[in-house]
């Protein structure tokens, strides 16, 4: 029985995390299918990597286009 439970948790993680990882990547100009594949291979880890890449991209854009100070 534990094998079935572990299998269901892993399948649930694949179904949940892979599309979310792909969506995060697409939102920041990366390939959906590449990140979706990474989400299938590494379901939990890929989500954190995609979030890290999104934050890094956002920080680069802010540094490239700084906002003028408000009076």
CB 43 within 8 A of CB 70: no
Residue reference for tokens 């990140």: 35
Mean pLDDT of 56-60: 88
pLDDT at position 6: 86
pLDDT at position 14: 81
Could you tell me the pTM of the whole model?
A: 0.69
Model pLDDT for residues 10-48, shown as the tens digit of each residue = 888 788 888 988 898 898 888 999 999 988 888 788 888
pLDDT at position 33: 94
pLDDT at position 9: 85
């Amino acid at each position: 029985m534990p094998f079935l439970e572990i299998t269901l948790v892993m399948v649930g993680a694949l179904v949940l995390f892979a599309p979310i990882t792909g969506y995060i990547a697409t939102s920041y100009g990366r390939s959906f299918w590449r990140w979706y594949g990474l989400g299938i291979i590494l379901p939990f880890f890929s989500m954190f990597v995609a979030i890290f890449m999104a934050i890094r991209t956002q920080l680069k854009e802010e540094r490239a286009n700084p906002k003028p100070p408000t009076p």
